[in-house]
Structure 1
Amino acid sequence: MTAPIVELSESSSSARRGALAVSVESRGYKGEEGRTPIREYRVRPSDAAVLAVSAALLIAALLV
């Protein structure tokens, strides 16, 4: 016996969208307010040195 094929229609996706909206609102989601900020990373001189050494080793390995 095979499993029935479930087809998603416009109405089922609309119902899920509505349910999601209700759940988000009921939990008090406020968007950007109170979220963890994104950290911005910067390349330090030590990072650049490691990159240069790695590139040099890769080139040396390819030439051998």
Structure 2
Amino acid sequence: MTKKAYIITGIGIVVGLIAGYLYYQQIGCESGTCAITSKPLNSTLYGGLMGGLLFNLFVTSSKKKQQE
């Protein structure tokens, strides 16, 4: 991975962490039976994971550039 790829993925993780916490704060699960949204840590970490994966889709591979 290039430095640009790490930066894009890192930005996605930060955006996901913020979105995960905001989801917990605004919507959340008050009963405590929801595995992900019942605790702020779980929701925040899950959001970070999803954000990193989502933003990683926009990283172009160096193999694709070499083949063209």
Does the TM-score normalized on the shorter chain lie above 0.5?
no
Please state which structure has a larger fraction of its residues in helix.
2
TM-score bracket relative to the smaller structure: 0.3 to 0.5
Higher-Rg member (1/2): 1
**TM-score of the aligned structures, taking structure 1 as reference length:** 0.32
**TM-score of the aligned structures, taking structure 2 as reference length:** 0.30
